[in-house]
Amino acid sequence: MMSSYQKIMAGLIVGLLMLGLIQISVASVVSTGDFNKDFYIMWSPSHVSTSSDGRTRSLKLDQESGSGFSSNQKFLFGQIDVQIKLIPGRSAGTVVAYYLTSDEPNHDELDFEFLGNVVGQPYLLQTNIYINGFDNREERIKLWFDPSKHFHTYSILWNIHQIVFMVDGIPIRVYRNHGEKGVAFPMWRPMSIKASIWNGESWATNGGRDKIDWSQAPFIVSFRNYKIDACVWKGYARFCRVDSPGNWWNNNRFSTLTFRQRSLFKWVRKHHLLYDYCHDYKRFQFKLPKECSLPKY
C-alpha cells in the first residue's frame, strides 16, 4: 500500500501533469472574429474604418498617410486565415501587406504583399520569408482572378514541418523545415499578425516606373472573416511545438502537402509563377541558397 507521503507525491505529480495538459490545451485559440477585440491600430486611426459589429475592417491610403493594424497576441505556429478585397481600378504603386512578424532586429517574418498595377494588368502577389533578419527569399505570382471584385481567403500554415502560403485553399508556396541540413527555419520567435497599406511606388509596380496616381485616391482595402487558430505565446516554446489535440497543425498529417495539394501547387507554379529566387542564378552568382536544391514536400 502507498504511504501518505507517496499518495501526496503521486497526487502532486498528477496535478502537475494535468496543469501541463491544461496549459497546452488553452495554448490554441480560435479567434473572436471581432477586429476591435483581437487587434489594435498601429498608426493613422483616421485611415482605419471598422464595421459596427467589428467583423470588417478597411485600411486607407492617401497622400497624407497609409495605415495598419496588429494583433494583440503573439503566436508560435498555427494557421491564420483572412479574407481580403483589394483596391479596384488603377492601384499602381500601392502595397497591401498581410504578414506575421516577430518585431525584433533579427526578426522572423512571413509575408503576403499585394503589389498594385495599372488598369488591365493583373495584381501581383509577392511572398517573402525572413529568418534571423535575412530575407532574399521572394517569390511572385500573378493571381488567376481579379482580387478587387470579391473577397478571397489568404492563409498561412506555419508548423514545425513546413510553411505553406495558400490562396482560397490552394498552396502557392511551400518552405520546408530542412533544419537538419543546415537550412534556417523559424522555430523559436513568436510572431504577431499585421496588415497595412502603404506607398511602395519606388519599386512595387513595373520596377518603380509606374507611380501612384493620387487623383484615384483614397485607395481602400478591406478585411473580414479572419480566423486565428494558433498557439498563443505564453513564454514556453515547448508548449507550442508539441503535437497535441490543441496544436493540431503539428500533427504528422500536416507535415507535407496532400496529393491533391501537390497537384494544385504544380498548377500554380506552371501557369502563374513569375519569379522564384531559387531560379535567380545571377542574383546569387550561381550559388543558390541551400534550400533551393532540397525537396518542398
Determine the Cα–Cα distance for residues 135 and 126; give it in Å rounded to an integer: 13
Residue 77 is assigned to a structural domain of this protein: yes
CA 161 to chain centre: 16
Question: What is the predicted pLDDT for the residue at 230?
Answer: 96
Give the single-character DSSP code of 134. B
Alpha-carbon dihedral sign for residues 123, 131, 156, 173: positive
DSSP H or E run through 50: strand 48-50
- Looking at residue 40, which CATH number applies to its domain? 2.60.120.200
Mean pLDDT calculated for residue range 103-112: 94
Residue 157 is assigned to a structural domain of this protein: yes
Q: Where does the pLDDT of residue 7 fall: very low under 50, low under 70, confident under 90, or very high at 90 and above?
A: very low
67-86 confidence digits (pLDDT tens): 999 999 999 999 999 999 99
Determine the Cα–Cα distance for residues 241 and 163; give it in Å rounded to an integer: 14
Residue 2 is assigned to a structural domain of this protein: no
pTM of the model: 0.90
Domain that holds residue 287: 35-293
Question: How many other β-carbons are positioned within 10 Å of the β-carbon of residue 250?
Answer: 20
Q: Are 221 and 197 in contact (CB under 8 A)?
A: yes
> Domain count of the chain?
1
Residue 28 is assigned to a structural domain of this protein: no
262-286 confidence digits (pLDDT tens): 999 999 999 999 999 999 999 999 9
Residue 199 is assigned to a structural domain of this protein: yes
Q: Are strands 152-158 and 139-142 parallel, antiparallel or unpaired?
A: unpaired
Question: What is the predicted pLDDT for the residue at 26?
Answer: 44
Comparing 128 with 238, which gets the higher pLDDT? 128
Question: What is the predicted pLDDT for the residue at 12?
Answer: 41
171-198 confidence digits (pLDDT tens): 999 999 999 999 999 999 999 999 999 9
| Side chain identity, residue 45 | P
Residue 16 is assigned to a structural domain of this protein: no
11-52 confidence digits (pLDDT tens): 443 343 333 433 444 456 668 899 999 999 999 999 999 999
Q: Which residues of 78-111 are buried (b: 16+ CB within 10 A; e: fewer)?
A: bbbbbbbbbbeebbbbbbbbbbbbbeeeebbbbb
Tell me which residues are annotated as active site.
Answer: 109, 113
Average pLDDT in the chain: 91
Rounded alpha-carbon distances, angstroms, from residue 83 to 128, 147, 150, 173: 19, 10, 9, 18
